[in-house]
Amino acid sequence: MTHSTTADSLDNLPLYPKGVGVMFMMQLLPMIGFAMIQGLLVLYCINVLDFTEHHAYSLYAAYSSLVFGMAIVGGYVAELIGYRLAVKISLLLTTVGLIVLFYPGAMAMYIGLACFVIGTATFVPASYVLLGRLYAKDDQRRDSGFLISYIGMNLGAFLAFASVGYIRDHFGFHMAFLVGAVFSALALVLFYFFHDLFKYQMRDDSELEQVIRTKSMSMRGYLLCFAAIPVIMLLLRHSAVSNALLIGIGVFSAFFILSLAYREPSASGWRLVAFLVLIVVAVAFWALYMLAPSALTIFVERNVDRQVLGFTIPTPSVQGLNPFFIVTLGPILSYIWLRMARKNRSLSTPMKFAIGVLLMGIGYVILKIGISFANQQGLSSFGWVVGSYLFQTMGELFIGPVGFAMVGSLVPERYEGVMMGIWQLSTGVAGAMSSVLAQSTTDPSGSTAPLITDHLFASSFGEFGTLAIIIGVLTLFLAPLLRYIINSPEPEL
């Protein structure tokens, strides 16, 4: 059920609508399986399937891009079959995918990953649309509710990263995938018992005709969902084609949004334009963010002193800094946003995006500064990496959950599923673009010596940070205009 709110009425409502707590767990449980794959896929390919490093890296790049890129298909499927049913089917697919990964062999891996990709790509937009519909479009609690859900997702990731090494070392790769399947199945059971909390009540009687789903629509959704599995398997085998295709779909999606904006009434059309502008800003942010599993990981592995209190921190565990900071800082930020909303001082979505990109830029500048203080072996102190992750994660908190929340508040309701998918797609496009950025950090001679590669990392990180800061400043200047477009019923432009 939705509630229209203003700053004056917030005191009469609970902090979070019923269903937010369930969605917190719905994000936490499936994320464990997602993080298990993220942490083990490359190692599994090299150590178990005897893939070359190049093959393993290419496969992971294709997988990560497709997980986000296929969200536009998943969002459309969810619109066709209904969002609650889409959540159930998507969790079933992720569970099956992880179970198939439990079995040995490359073919089982491709089938399992394909099922997991389309399952995740459907679950994310469907679940966030359901969460968004717990709020009215003007509900100032919306961003805080999405942030709580985002914290749940990252708590699941942190728990997975903290345990995946132990599970692999003592029980093997396949058992880790099976553990992920168990938690995905638990999410399915949880939603089965609490799905009535997400019954949608029409905000306007005129909307009824727009959301009635016929049997033919549902059948198209089922066929599209399951037909995507062999297509994804093919794309996983051809990573370069997959990345190029994803960028092409991203460009097409931008023109699609513009075409919808042209056909919509003035207010709705301009809001779609504002939505597209913020997507472009987000792509720049996520392109830098997605360097963490690639260039930043290689930097930590080869150019950072990972000795802390006599203990060598494993490189894969460093990625756990991101969910750790989200879990610890997210509730604080959520509380601050609620307090600001009660005082009618909420930051606008464009302003939050600007701050997020600026924080990302500072994170990379910190790395550049840290390299200048490297020791005689060319190794930077681990503290600089922690500082960089801290600022990057704070930037993510200003963009990640806010981006999901803005879809329901900016786009016409009949396009929510597709636009939620496009928002998720933007992360996949950024992932494909990040591969180009990562290449700038490699030494042409192939050397991996820190004393040789430090200047390449320093130069690249400095450029990345400068680019992000410039984009952030430009967004700050555009923020008042974008806010006017978002809030004005009839922008006078």
Distance in angstroms (rounded) separating the CA atoms of residues 55 and 73: 26
Distance in angstroms (rounded) separating the CA atoms of residues 74 and 420: 9
pLDDT tens, residue by residue, 240-265? 788 788 888 888 888 988 888 887 77
The tokens for 220 are: 């198209």
Q: What's the sign of the alpha-carbon dihedral 322, 326, 329, 333?
A: positive
236 backbone φψ class: left, alpha, beta (φ>0; ψ -120 to 50):
alpha
Give 346's DSSP letter: P
* pTM for this predicted structure: 0.76
Domains of the chain, CATH where assigned: 10-487 (1.20.1250.20)
Whether residue 86 contacts residue 122, with contact meaning beta carbons closer than 8 Å, is answered with: yes
Whose tokens are 């306007």? That residue is 204
Question: Can you tell me the mean pLDDT for 300-325?
Answer: 83
pLDDT tens, residue by residue, 286-300? 989 977 777 787 788
Whose tokens are 């994660």? That residue is 393
Q: Which residue has the higher pLDDT, 424 or 205?
A: 424
Whether residue 89 contacts residue 149, with contact meaning beta carbons closer than 8 Å, is answered with: no
- CA angle 405/407/410 to nearest 5° reads 115
pLDDT tens, residue by residue, 46-86? 778 887 656 776 777 788 888 877 877 887 788 788 888 88
pLDDT at 5 over 70: no
* Cα dihedral value 200, 204, 209, 215, nearest 10: 0
pLDDT band at residue 35, thresholds of 50, 70 and 90?
A: confident
Report how far Cα 363 is from the mean position of its chain's Cα atoms: 19
pLDDT at 30 over 60: yes
Radius of gyration in angstroms for the set of CA atoms belonging to the chain, rounded to a whole number:
22
Whether residue 371 contacts residue 461, with contact meaning beta carbons closer than 8 Å, is answered with: yes
Distance in angstroms (rounded) separating the CA atoms of residues 386 and 380: 12
3-state secondary structure of 349: helix
Inter-CA distances, 276 with 83, 214, 313, 386, 410, Å: 24, 31, 41, 33, 10
396: closest CA among 471, 306, 286?
286
pLDDT tens, residue by residue, 166-220? 787 778 888 989 999 999 999 999 888 887 777 654 444 444 444 455 666 677 7
Q: Which of 229-238, 296-305, 405-414, 471-480 has the lowest mean pLDDT?
A: 405-414
Q: According to the model, what pLDDT value does residue 356 have?
A: 94
Whether residue 325 contacts residue 394, with contact meaning beta carbons closer than 8 Å, is answered with: yes
